[in-house]
Chain A
């Protein structure tokens, strides 16, 4: 019995769980479809995201513009698709950054144990207590509003929970007998980390990553809403909601459709994450 097959069964259980939970399954397909559509935006979007039609101005949903147009006559459906590209890209990449930092830090801390571990975790506690939104806001101001910086800034903030979880799993797995056996057989520390600890943490990492994604996307939308995220005319879901809120008195559709898409995506991500974590626990 190797760690791999144990691990496969964990994923199989998660899959079975998703199929048993109809709502979670629907959410999963909704996410997959939305992400796919957004990433294919350049191919399928009916208009370019910045194509203006000033004569048309803000128009209610119609056959030519399914979700209407904004003040500058830009097609909302196209802007939502392009905005979703940004939101999902931030979601995936920033979560990736968070996973990378969190897993390496947590595993190193757990493997080291003793005083090193205590100090490393105390550092995490301290960073937890910092007013991090302020740092992200100042970072965006200091280094300009580039998308890459958003990935890094958000990822660098969101790795803490991951580090804690991976460290706890590492401590647990480290003391199991198969690790002892591997050590006795002469497996190196690095080998043990990669071959035994990592695969056995995979479930916990997956759960945490799924739940990190909505909070990452939320943070990006929050920044864009405040005007600190992506630069106009490039849309993101946060900036679309912001634009919609400005003109909602005359053109409610500008607010409703991006708000609905964003909230539905957050809901689906959280719902899938919840289903997976219930199975994992």
Chain B
């Protein structure tokens, strides 16, 4: 297990570097530079700025000084927000996205698991069909459709919540968190349901009943271990996606989080900022994938055995 963990960590380093390198060169191929503004700026000013930030050096030199800074945990200054370092801005934005994501994750888990289990408990009847029908509808309401509709109903017509902004918590978090969560909740519900329904019909479940295990024990000890496998592998990347903020939800609700900020940095060619965001995303995704694999191994000895290979 420890060996597996170490191997995965070692594997993560080149993957991380690959992502960072690819993005580093990609953003520099985007037409335009970080100091282009809508109002024309004197070319001398741009040159001076480029020289100040080292952007006049050859690309490989920029790349190596970037790597050197990265090794020291320094992400550099923001080009768009003078006087701010990327580390400071990221910390501020990530805090907002983490809060929103944590709310959404809790909602998604609560709705997803309860609907999924309820649908699995009545696989044939009307209730089961209705519940799986509902979860299918959830998948067809992506955030950019659901968000505006929720605002239309609950903010503009009923006036229960603010339409946008991130000021009075937790009320301002309810609509965006729910918008973000529903799609994930629907997927979790479907995965839980199909996992449980599939495992319920297996021979080992009959054996367990035949040996006199109680219904509760069969569910919790025998079925769950196998049935939750697809859900857990889905939850890794899903949690990473939720916690690092959503491009769409933060745009719709005007939330000052990481996702919205990433888009505006990318449009502004704020190189250091883009790199910072991408690295944060990559680190989260790698970490949560690893976490979900470790949980899988802890829950299911068969997978742990495969990992030892």
Q: What number of A residues sit within 8 Å (CB to CB) of B?
A: 37
CB closest chain-A residue, reference B145: A259
Q: Kindly list chain B residues whose C-beta atoms are within 8 Å of the C-beta of A248.
A: 148, 151-152, 156
- Contact check, A131 vs B144: say whether CB atoms are below 8 A apart: no
**Interface 1/0s, chain B 144-187, versus A by CB < 8 A?**
11011101100010000000000000000000000000000000
- Contact check, A131 vs B19: say whether CB atoms are below 8 A apart: yes
Task: State how many angstroms separate the Cβ of B235 from the closest Cβ of chain A.
Answer: 14
B136 within 8 A of A: yes
Interface stretch (choices A48-56, A90-98, A101-109, A220-228): A220-228
A134 within 8 A of B: yes
CB closest chain-A residue, reference B32: A141
**Interface 1/0s, chain B 1-14, versus A by CB < 8 A?**
00000000001000
Alpha-carbon distance A248/B282, docked complex (angstroms): 35
The interface residues of chain A, by DSSP majority, are classed as helix
List residues 97-147 of chain B with CB under 8 A from any CB of chain A: 136-137, 139-142, 144-145, 147
> Which of A129, A134, A238 lies in contact with B144, CB distance below 8 A?
A238
Interface stretch (choices B38-46, B199-207, B245-253): B245-253
CB closest chain-A residue, reference B152: A248
Alpha-carbon distance A209/B21, docked complex (angstroms): 32
- Contact check, B248 vs A225: say whether CB atoms are below 8 A apart: yes
Interface stretch (choices B22-30, B56-64, B76-84): B22-30
- Contact check, B144 vs A138: say whether CB atoms are below 8 A apart: no
Q: Kindly list chain B residues whose C-beta atoms are within 8 Å of the C-beta of A130.
A: 15, 19, 282, 285
Query: Knowing A131-B19, A141-B267, A271-B136 touch, does A245 contact B285 (C-beta < 8 A)?
Result: no
Q: Kindly list chain B residues whose C-beta atoms are within 8 Å of the C-beta of A263.
A: 140-141, 145
Alpha-carbon distance A225/B22, docked complex (angstroms): 25
List residues 207-262 of chain A with CB under 8 A from any CB of chain B: 214, 218, 221-222, 225-226, 238, 241-242, 244-245, 248-249, 252, 255-256, 259, 262
- Contact check, A222 vs B142: say whether CB atoms are below 8 A apart: yes
**Interface 1/0s, chain A 140-166, versus B by CB < 8 A?**
011000000000000000000000000
> Which of B147, B148, B266 lies in contact with A138, CB distance below 8 A?
B266
- Contact check, B156 vs A226: say whether CB atoms are below 8 A apart: no
A43 within 8 A of B: no
Query: Knowing A141-B267, A271-B136 touch, does A245 contact B142 (C-beta < 8 A)?
Result: no
- Contact check, A245 vs B148: say whether CB atoms are below 8 A apart: yes
**Interface 1/0s, chain B 253-280, versus A by CB < 8 A?**
0000000001100110000001001100
Alpha-carbon distance A135/B26, docked complex (angstroms): 9
A274 within 8 A of B: yes
> Which of A129, A241, A255 lies in contact with B286, CB distance below 8 A?
A129
Alpha-carbon distance A245/B164, docked complex (angstroms): 12
B281 within 8 A of A: yes
A267 within 8 A of B: yes
Q: Kindly list chain B residues whose C-beta atoms are within 8 Å of the C-beta of A244.
A: 148
B33 within 8 A of A: no
Task: State how many angstroms separate the Cβ of A1 from the closest Cβ of chain B.
Answer: 30
Alpha-carbon distance A252/B251, docked complex (angstroms): 19
Alpha-carbon distance A137/B151, docked complex (angstroms): 26
- Contact check, A129 vs B285: say whether CB atoms are below 8 A apart: yes
- Contact check, A137 vs B248: say whether CB atoms are below 8 A apart: no
- Contact check, B286 vs A267: say whether CB atoms are below 8 A apart: no
A270 within 8 A of B: yes
- Contact check, A241 vs B136: say whether CB atoms are below 8 A apart: no
A133 within 8 A of B: yes
